[in-house]
Amino acid sequence: YRSRKLPSKVERAPATMMNADMDAVEAENQVELEEKTRLINQVLELQHTLEDLSARVDAVKEENLKLKSENQVLGQYIENLMSASSVFQTTDTKSKRK
pLDDT tens digit sequence for 39-76: 999 999 999 999 999 999 999 999 999 999 999 999 99
Tens-place pLDDT, residues 13-40: 556 667 778 888 888 999 999 999 999 9
Q: What pLDDT, on a 0 to 100 scale, did the predictor assign at position 87?
A: 80
Q: What are phi and psi of 19, to 5 degrees?
A: -65, -40
Number of domains the chain is built from? 1
Q: Look at residue 75 and tell me if it is in a domain.
A: yes
Q: Look at residue 98 and tell me if it is in a domain.
A: no
Q: Which residues span the domain enclosing 73?
A: 26-84
Q: Look at residue 38 and tell me if it is in a domain.
A: yes
Q: Which residues contact 82 (CB under 8 A, 6 or more apart)?
A: 88
Q: Look at residue 55 and tell me if it is in a domain.
A: yes
Q: What is the DSSP letter of 88?
A: G
Q: How far is the C-alpha of 47 from the C-alpha of 93, rounded, in Å? A: 67
